Structure 1
Amino acid sequence: MAYYVIAGKLTCLNTTHALHIAETLSLRLPNFHYRRILKSDYDWPIWLDQLNSTNNWHETCCPLAWKEVGQMGGKPHLIGNLGHFWEYCFDYYGIQSWLSKTDLEKIKADDALMHTSGNKTSSEPQKISVTDANTHPMLELVIYELQQLFSPSTLEIKLYDANIPDDEDTDVFMLETLESYQVSGKSSPQSIVLVSTLREALQNCDVLIVLGDYRRLHSAFRKNTTNHENLGKTLISSRLPDEAADDWLNRCRLNMIILADEINSSASRSLKVILNHPGPICFNASVLMEYCTQIRLSNIVAVTTDEGLSVISTIAHQVDRPVEHFWCPAVWGFSGIMSFVGVACTPLTQVVIQPYKRSLKTKESSKLPKGEIVVEIKFVENLLKTEELFYEELEHRKERELDILQRPPVLAKVRALASLLKLWFAEVVTDEIISLGVCSNGAFRFPPGVCFSQPVSLNEKRIWEPVASLPLTSLTQRKVADIVLQVEGHLKNFGIGDRLR
């Protein structure tokens, strides 16, 4: 799929005409998507010079059109100025357009009014709240990503942490918190506000990001200094569970019920809740779906793509391919309790030489091209020797990583959260497929009304829907059936899913 870009000056009638045609095509053709870049007369030459330097172009006209193939923001392919754009539209779509100068002036006035009212789309969030702000190691990274994705001048980030002592001087604590961000140089403290109650965090909030640590409690660690004595430090070799499974899930359930009650009483109906924490993330999202009655169930999601991102390097090592050639594998199941990463179905791109027929007959001294270089999409299943050995190595690597870090890894979670927000609030809805914990509608034989991680895509109403047409391997079907069978007991014990049954 190609995404078109029309760039020009606000005061240019040619830019107005090109945007009018692009808008008409986008309304009539299902696969025509475009975005506009409008600059003032002062900013246009500076911006155009930077664009030419980046792409090695030599364009001077206004407007300028190009297309990005595959995904928005991809490599630009130049179409040209207005005349080239007209020729392109006529060749591909058979469309011609004539507008009088008076009509163009009216359209330009409307465009200028829209531009002055704000460059960002109405879907872009204004206020984002983050819970457990003082306890989670990835908070600074999350704040940095938020301010990279959205306009810092209008974005307000509210931080809330229930673990702040009641006798703590809030003003002093806020000053220390903001000072730490300023020293780190990763964020703009002017847009960060510390709130003392969950109600304040939810009022006038567009997006709620739930962090925190909901892992199962453990007793004293069993220590092992083998092969590390010379380093002078002790690593954790294993953890001894100190909390029964039902007690653990009930503790998480009670926390989510408290959050759901506050959402019902203080939040707007359009609030989007994103869970991105270690622990039973799909279970917690399911509890929120059960008890949140004032917001849409489709607005409650659990970030699970990080499970797929964290295994890409292991896959690349196994099949001896560069990491950048891999797509993210699908994540299935009740993440945080029982999930499955479909490694075998992971796509990867591979550059191959496709020979011409004449390559069999031409002489070696011939200067004619004997083939062309093309990019093919293959699956890891054909390159893995045995999946069992891969999953064993993967589990060993996770344990070793946890022992070294002394905490769950956070980089994959931050990256997954940023990708989710970028897609959810993009100007144009794409057909990209990601793994996400959403309210099941019965697709892939998951019980309806419960949060399960599965491949989803964003529809025209910006609602995440399972890609039910996605073909499954026999192994994935067995794993999904096993997961459903294993978690049914937890669902019945805690009454999850009853709301939609």
Structure 2
Amino acid sequence: MPLFVIAGRANCPLFVHAIQIANYLSEHLPDIIINKQEFYGEEWSDFLLDINSTNSWYITKSPVIWKEVGFAGSKPHLIGGLSEFWEYIDDYYGTKTFLDRKAVAELCSQNMKAYTEKNLLSAKEKLKSSVIGMYGFNNDFAQMLLPELFNVHGLFEKNMVTIKIYDPESLRDPDTEDEVRSIMESYEREIQAHVKYELLFSTTISFFIENTDFILITEDYSQKEEEDRSTWLKRCSLDMNELATEINDTGGEHLKILCCHLGPVCFTATALTLHIKEKYHNNIIAVTAYEGLKALSSVSKLTDIPISHLAAPPVWGFVGLDQFVDVQGVIVIQDIIRPYKRALKDVRDSTLPQKKVRKELRMLSCIVNQRNFENSVIKRCNQYSILGRKPILPLLRATLHLLELWSSPKKAADVVISLGVHSDGSFGIPQKIVFSQPVTLNDKNIWVPFDKLPIFDQSHREIEKCIKFTSDLMQLIADCF
């Protein structure tokens, strides 16, 4: 059964004319199927570039028509434009029909109106729903993250939420889907109070990416015992290359990608940026603040400052392979009493307020002697690796906090956190790599370096070491990309 695919610009008279001919054939010859693909503006240019590159064609004008025999998606046989299509159907089917210019112009106007209304309806429906994808699920972190997502209110402000899960290893185990669904059922009553949701297990990457708003890369990319560094990083890079290729083909315009996994998060994010379209570069983020969160508990114990009064220190470096947690940069949130003038008059039995309590931010280095303190914190943080523990809980907290901020930009106003972002050269960091640094969210909902952060000389030297390590490493592992 032949399938004719007719692609073109929605406002192109030749495209509309070709569709009219194809519909006539379909009505009179029931074994013929017509697939219409219409585009407008830059969509058409991008489509043309992709299809010419894929099939080694050299089409420059609308429409482009080809034939697929047997089933959709089979090898395409190029027919050409409208003139070639006319010749084809005349030779093959002996069919002749004519439309005058006025009729074609009327059809073109009607088609453009229908195209606009369809896209408007699609846009309205999309505003009412959101899609979250989890890439990798067969690990403790991903399975802990899934139910916690429903506590991120910014992700569930819409009427309908779809959660897609893609994990080839889990898909090979038929019991995995049943187990996840049973877990979700235990949260059913609480979740349904938040939002109506749908849970889908994707069997293909293309379906997983299509119409998705947030992709959370939650696969466990920790180094395996039998792997050397080169083999390990090549494995991670190949996965990111495959994912980037699919995103280039089917990803939405405003897709956000979070590398929030165990392993070399800055490396995987960098690998993505090297293969993905440039428009996505600022939307690829590596979650790195968890390295700083590991230090907060130690700082609190050593200083007797409540952990609720501490803000995570800046995290620098190619996290997962090399990083520097600037303990001197821990922020202490102090309550400061500011007395009113009336308090100085010592008016007895006055019921008027005498003072105001305000929050003031101070750096830990202004309060604590750093020499022995920093070494103690580093030793405590290293217990994770010494005991073989994976930092799942700090990573979970950092990921949820980031999602809350990124999905509700008003909450992120004036907030400074540590993230791996695509470097623009700030702080002397080489460009075209994802490097952890202090960032803030700008008015375009893009995370940008916060270059006003004060940095001590000792910390600056450690940051330069991280930059040199990363530059040298990128040269050594160039073949991993």
Q: Relative to 1, partners in 2 of residues 1:176 and 1:279: Cα closer, same or farther, differing over 3 Å?
A: closer
Q: Deviations over 1:368-392 (max 9, x none)?
A: 9886544432211023223454344
CA contact (8 A) 1:298 1:463 kept: yes
Instruction: Flag the structure with higher helix content.
Output: 2
CA contact (8 A) 2:317 2:470 kept: no
Instruction: Select which of 133, 139, 143 maps to 1:139.
Output: 143
Question: Which amino acid is the alignment partner of residue 461 of structure 1?
Answer: K
Question: Which amino acid is the alignment partner of residue 331 of structure 2?
Answer: P
Instruction: Select which of 455, 460, 464 maps to 1:477.
Output: 460
The CA distance in 2 between the partners of 1:276 and 1:472, in whole Å, is: 27
The CA distance in 2 between the partners of 1:265 and 1:370, in whole Å, is: 64
Question: Which amino acid is the alignment partner of residue 467 of structure 1?
Answer: F
Q: Deviations over 1:422-446 (max 9, x none)?
A: 2222263623221111100000000
Question: Which amino acid is the alignment partner of residue 257 of structure 1?
Answer: N
The CA distance in 1 between the partners of 2:171 and 2:345, in whole Å, is: 81
CA contact (8 A) 1:126 1:206 kept: yes
Q: Secondary structure at the match of 1:390?
A: helix
1:433 and 2:411 equivalent?
A: no
Q: Deviations over 1:404-461 (max 9, x none)?
A: xx64132222222222222222263623221111100000000011101111111121
Structure-1 residue corresponding to 2:432: 449
Structure-1 residue corresponding to 2:199: 192
Farther off after superposition, 465-474 or 373-382: 373-382
Structure-2 residue corresponding to 1:409: 391
1:242-391 superposed matches below 5 A:
242-293=226-277, 295-354=279-338, 373-391=357-375
Q: CA deviation at 1:249?
A: 1.9
Question: Which amino acid is the alignment partner of residue 288 of structure 1?
Answer: L
Q: CA deviation at 1:268?
A: 2.3
Structure-2 residue corresponding to 1:50: none
Instruction: Select which of 162, 181, 186 maps to 1:183.
Output: 186
The CA distance in 1 between the partners of 2:248 and 2:355, in whole Å, is: 63
CA contact (8 A) 2:150 2:191 kept: no
Q: Secondary structure at the match of 2:312?
A: coil
CA contact (8 A) 1:127 1:205 kept: yes
The CA distance in 2 between the partners of 1:413 and 1:460, in whole Å, is: 26
Q: CA deviation at 1:282?
A: 0.4
Q: CA deviation at 1:366?
A: 9.1
Q: Deviations over 1:215-239 (max 9, x none)?
A: 1222xxxxxxxxxxxxxxxxxxxxx
Q: Relative to 1, partners in 2 of residues 1:121 and 1:394: Cα closer, same or farther, differing over 3 Å?
A: farther
CA contact (8 A) 2:162 2:199 kept: yes
The CA distance in 2 between the partners of 1:215 and 1:144, in whole Å, is: 23
Question: Which amino acid is the alignment partner of residue 159 of structure 1?
Answer: I
Structure-1-length-normalised TM-score = 0.62
Q: Secondary structure at the match of 1:455?
A: strand
Structure-2 residue corresponding to 1:157: 163
Structure-1 residue corresponding to 2:445: 462
Structure-2 residue corresponding to 1:215: 222
The CA distance in 2 between the partners of 1:396 and 1:198, in whole Å, is: 41
Q: CA deviation at 1:486?
A: 1.1
The CA distance in 1 between the partners of 2:315 and 2:331, in whole Å, is: 14
The CA distance in 2 between the partners of 1:124 and 1:431, in whole Å, is: 29
Q: Relative to 1, partners in 2 of residues 1:287 and 1:177: Cα closer, same or farther, differing over 3 Å?
A: same
Q: Deviations over 1:101-129 (max 9, x none)?
A: xxxxxxxxxxxxxxxx9xx9988971111
Gaps of 5+ in 2: 1-120
1:201 and 2:208 equivalent?
A: yes
Q: Secondary structure at the match of 2:369?
A: coil
CA contact (8 A) 2:421 2:434 kept: yes
The CA distance in 1 between the partners of 2:223 and 2:281, in whole Å, is: 26
Q: Secondary structure at the match of 1:311?
A: helix
Question: Which amino acid is the alignment partner of residue 345 of structure 1?
Answer: G
Q: Secondary structure at the match of 2:224?
A: coil
Gaps of 5+ in 1: 1-116, 219-241
Q: Secondary structure at the match of 1:408?
A: coil
Structure-1 residue corresponding to 2:111: none
Q: CA deviation at 1:156?
A: 0.3
Q: Considering only aligned residues, what root-mean-square deviation do their CA atoms show, in Å?
A: 3.4
The CA distance in 2 between the partners of 1:266 and 1:402, in whole Å, is: 43
Question: Which amino acid is the alignment partner of residue 470 of structure 2?
Answer: V
Larger radius of gyration: 2
Question: Which amino acid is the alignment partner of residue 212 of structure 1?
Answer: E
The CA distance in 1 between the partners of 2:151 and 2:377, in whole Å, is: 37
Q: Relative to 1, partners in 2 of residues 1:136 and 1:125: Cα closer, same or farther, differing over 3 Å?
A: farther
1:41-120 superposed matches below 5 A:
none
Q: Deviations over 1:272-304 (max 9, x none)?
A: 111101111001101101111264200111111
